[in-house]
Chains A and B, each alone.
Chain A
């Protein structure tokens, strides 16, 4: 049991090419900080000063965390977290 974390292409260099890794339950920000211990450098790419960077969207089970509790959103075992760069409209 663990949290499933989907990694976008630009960050896969840091995860040995894996597009999905396992994370630990807790808040979104602690999940990212813990990922940084296993994949050094990933933390500062996703967040800055405890905040998710402006052009990154994080989804918990398909819901944008800005509709939940932002960085403080609780993530449980078996949840799915997607890290997705913001993209333009059509």
Chain B
């Protein structure tokens, strides 16, 4: 049996039994899963976790399922990489990359949330799963839904990068490309979700789905040797990942897995779509929606549903919000690849570039422990780097031609 007590409205506190509902019927506030922490505390310890298999279900008591995990049995437990080269570049002591570029099976942190969403969808008895997506979620629902035997309806903005569309199509879902931006797709889907009894992972399954993001945070703490970092830099689209990582840290403290928690949480966005970091900088909790214009398409949500709560977390923890230009994002992707051998998608460029800015402005101390969240793989957004990389050396198939180039390379010091 699971440890979920019920669902509770974050705004007005009304309680609801566990069901595929996602907003408070009274005030439309989002519903949040409430756990029985007292009972969890008795069964979930560091030792118990350490004995389990290395996937995201090792924290299953803190995930909103009733039975055994059904989907995503190889997802999660991605590397936490000590980024010494990047630390040197930034002039800080201790820097880590939480590397979700290698999440199984579709190479982004969305595999975490989808594992929980589809397990829950099956528990609720749905035969069809659906989502509105900027790309990564589409891939994960397409792939994990195929393996689990669901019918799949995937809605994406028609303007997505071609490679991101192929990476969904290969799993043969019903892919619906909508002539509009992500916010248009989302709105359409909320109307479709009203009409059809499907498990829309980020609509009627959202309270359960979103909980999956906590595993990214649980792993950070476990992999740091059971302690929370001084700073964590998180990319923001809807703001959900940020609020859930913070929830994961608080839960580990609540059940006694860590004793100390004084992490500062930092929100990072692309300047071309920065409603959350803008609100933080302006000292308001009113999120003004924007029309996204950035290469960081996986973060291009102009109307972030959890933006309000993200600003609350940032303020509560003494963090900050920062945003970076498209050129800074590209430079961030290139720097991460050059320094640490990790090829991140645009959202990873955002967190790296924002970290640099936060260190330079003194918001992050140089002798503190900082974790940068890198949430998706760069192979998915190669178009963003067209004309931005170095070039190959073209030679004839003979040794003379090669050595001519080699001399040039050596003169360049490589």
B190 and A88 within 8 A (CB) = no
B110 and A90 within 8 A (CB) = yes
How many whole Å from A18's CB to the nearest CB in chain B? 12
B27 and A67 within 8 A (CB) = no
**For residue B154, which residue of chain A has the nearest CB?**
A90
Known: A53-B27, A55-B30. A82 touches B304 (CB 8 A): no
A8 and B210 within 8 A (CB) = no
User: Which of these, B25, B27, B187, contacts A57 with CB under 8 Å?
Assistant: B187
**How far, in angstroms, from A61 to B250 measured CA to CA in the complex?**
42
**8 A Cβ contacts from A50-90 to B:** 53-57, 59, 62, 64, 66-67, 82, 84-90
B194 and A9 within 8 A (CB) = yes
**How far, in angstroms, from A10 to B30 measured CA to CA in the complex?**
13
Known: A45-B26, A59-B187, A64-B289. A89 touches B308 (CB 8 A): no
A89 and B194 within 8 A (CB) = no
Known: A64-B289, A90-B137. A85 touches B238 (CB 8 A): no
Number of A-B contacts (CB under 8 A): 92
**How far, in angstroms, from A89 to B200 measured CA to CA in the complex?**
12
**8 A Cβ contacts from B215-272 to A:** 237-240
- Provide the residues of chain B in CB contact with A45, threshold 8 Å: 26-28
A88 and B28 within 8 A (CB) = no
- Provide the residues of chain B in CB contact with A53, threshold 8 Å: 27-28
B27 and A66 within 8 A (CB) = no
- Provide the residues of chain A in CB contact with B186, threshold 8 Å: 87, 89-90
Q: What is the size, in residues, of chain B's interface with A at 8 Å between Cβ atoms?
A: 45
- Provide the residues of chain A in CB contact with B138, threshold 8 Å: 90
B11 and A89 within 8 A (CB) = no
**How far, in angstroms, from A86 to B309 measured CA to CA in the complex?**
13
Q: B111: CB under 8 A from chain A?
A: no
Q: A4: CB under 8 A from chain B?
A: no
How many whole Å from A28's CB to the nearest CB in chain B? 16
**How far, in angstroms, from A56 to B11 measured CA to CA in the complex?**
12
- Provide the residues of chain A in CB contact with B11, threshold 8 Å: 54-55
**8 A Cβ contacts from B109-163 to A:** 110, 131-134, 136-138
**How far, in angstroms, from A72 to B289 measured CA to CA in the complex?**
17
B190 and A87 within 8 A (CB) = yes
Q: Mark B195-219, 1 if CB is under 8 A from A, else 0.
A: 0000001110010011000000000
- Provide the residues of chain A in CB contact with B301, threshold 8 Å: 89
Q: B191: CB under 8 A from chain A?
A: yes
**How far, in angstroms, from A82 to B183 measured CA to CA in the complex?**
14
Q: Mark B1-42, 1 if CB is under 8 A from A, else 0.
A: 000000000010000000000110111111000000000000
- Provide the residues of chain B in CB contact with A84, threshold 8 Å: 187, 190-191
Known: A55-B28, A64-B289, A64-B303. A89 touches B187 (CB 8 A): no
Known: A55-B27, A55-B30. A88 touches B303 (CB 8 A): no
**How far, in angstroms, from A19 to B399 measured CA to CA in the complex?**
74
How many whole Å from B24's CB to the nearest CB in chain A? 8
- Shortest Cβ-Cβ A-B pairs, 6 listed: A89-B238, A90-B137, A90-B133, A55-B28, A86-B305, A85-B23
Task: Give me the interface of A with B, judged by CB distance under 8 Å.
Answer: 6, 8-10, 19, 45, 53-57, 59, 62, 64, 66-67, 82, 84-90
Please, could you name 16 A-B residue pairs with CB atoms under 8 Å apart, sorted by A? A10-B23, A10-B28, A55-B11, A62-B184, A64-B303, A66-B288, A66-B289, A82-B191, A87-B202, A87-B206, A88-B203, A88-B206, A88-B305, A90-B131, A90-B138, A90-B238
